[in-house]
Amino acid sequence: MTAVAAPPTKDVGRARGQFVRHPAWLAVPLLIVFVLAFLYPLLRMGEVALLRGDVVDNVTRLIDTPLYVRVLGRTFQIALMVALVTVALAYPLAAFISRRSDRVQALLLVLLFVPMLTSVVVRAYSWVTILRPNGVLDGIANMLGLPPLGGAFFENEAGILIGMVHLMLPFAALPLYAAFRRLDPQLPLAAATLGASPARQWLRIVGPLTLPSALAAFVLVFITTLGFVITPSILGGPRALMLGVLVQRQMALNDFPFAGVLSITLLATTLITLILLRLAVRRFRAVGLL
């Protein structure tokens, strides 16, 4: 990093009295709403967790109760699995879409986009109707003369995985598609002309140019899943409790200090993951990727 500041523009360093003439004040109305309905609530949550309740007590309760430790471990594990599976599916899907004709690309993008905009509650509930005992899956098995699954993918980790990957797939595939589109198609072609095998083309050209986007997608899916409530609560049931659902339950029990401690754990993990991503991206940049 050099010490050279951004080039000054005519707005920097103006007298404070002229603030109203400065276009930055246009952001003030939205900023007020954010302070009132976002920043202040977050601070209030921190205050209740750290000052109102007995923090030491609540943290001890968190690490000494096997149930809560299991919930933390499971949440981490599921978030990792969802992120891995989502990116593993989204990456080849995005590559496939980026190589179609313009018309087919537009169609496939809409097919990704509409599920993404469809209500999360509706999608989770649809998976319930499909996966539950005597649900759609069992109905189809019955029609084919196969034994019923009887909810093998319902109210457990597998159910959460199926529902969460469904939510995250378009969310990860769309930015990855954009990364494949930014890739100059001449580059792999040139490499092929020079005798590079498809594997080598990917290793030396396509891979390095798309992996930073894949890493960003992985991290976004991971942190989103960590704090997710609706889908784990509907598809995971009481046997596969996740952190976000646990926070919601503690709130329903009016135990706000403990819900706050759990929530700070969640926020800290999210923040640390994001910082690690930034460091990784900086590393990528340093070696000439990205």
Partner 1 sequence: MAARLHGVFAAAMVVYLLLPLAIAVPLSLTSSEFMTFPPRGLSLRWYEEFFTDAQWTGPTMFSLALAAVAATLATLLGSLAAWPLVRRRFVGRASLAALLGSPIVVPAISVAIGAFLVWAGLRLLGNPVSLVATHVVLTAPFVLLVVGAALLEFDADHIGAARTLGANGPTIARRIVAPQILPSLIAAWLFAFITSLDEVVITSFLLTAGQVPTLAVFIFSQVHWSSSPAIAASSVVLVGIALVIGLGIARLAPLSISGPGMGRPR
- Is the CB of residue 45 less than 8 Å from the CB of residue 260? yes
Where does residue 14 fall: left (phi above 0), alpha (psi -120 to 50 degrees), or beta otherwise?
beta
Report the residue from 71, 72, 78, 112 that binds partner 1 according to the rule CB under 8 A: 112
Q: Which one of the spans 60-68, 73-81, 183-191, 259-267 is the region binding partner 1 (CB under 8 A)?
A: 259-267
211-230 residues in contact with partner 1 (CB under 8 A) are 213, 216, 220, 223-224, 226-230
- The verdict on 11 binding partner 1 (CB under 8 A) reads yes
**Counts for the chain of helices (H) and strands (E), in that order:** 14, 0
Please select the residue that binds partner 1; options are 55, 80, 88, 126, rule is CB under 8 A. Answer: 126
> Which residue, among 270, 271, 250, has the nearest Cα to 261 in the 3D structure?
250
For partner 1, which residue of 76, 171, 202, 284 counts as binding (CB under 8 A)?
171
Q: Could you tell me the smallest distance in angstroms from the CB atom of residue 141 to partner 1?
A: 11
- At which residue do the structure tokens 């976000």 appear? 244
**Considering only 57-65, 76-84, 123-131, 144-152, which stretch makes contact with partner 1 by CB under 8 A?**
123-131
Considering only residues 138 to 157 of the shown chain, the ones binding partner 1 according to CB under 8 A are 139-140, 143
Binding partner 1 (rule: CB under 8 A), the pick from 79, 167, 209, 214 is 167
Euclidean distance between CA atoms 245 and 237, whole angstroms? 10
208 lies in the binding site for partner 1 (CB under 8 A): no
Segment 23 to 42, residues that bind partner 1, using CB under 8 A: 23-27, 29-31, 33-34, 36-42
10 Å CB burial of residue 183 (0-12, 13-18, 19+) is middle
Q: Which stretch binds partner 1 (CB under 8 A): 76-84, 185-193, 200-208, 242-250?
A: 242-250
For residue 20, the minimal CB distance to partner 1 (Å) is: 11
Identify which range of 53-61, 144-152, 200-208, 240-248 contacts partner 1 by CB under 8 A.
Answer: 240-248
168 binds partner 1 (CB under 8 A): yes
Residues 37-96 that bind partner 1 (CB under 8 A): 37-46, 48, 89, 92-93, 95-96
Residues 2, 9, 101, 186: which binds partner 1 (CB under 8 A)? 9
Buried b vs exposed e over 240-265: b needs ≥16 C-beta within 10 Å?
bbbbbbbbbebeeeeebbbbbbbbbb
* Terminal Cα distance for the chain, rounded: 17
Burial environment of residue 42 by CB neighbours within 10 A (0 to 12, 13 to 18, 19 or more): exposed
Total residues contacting partner 1 by CB under 8 A comes to 98
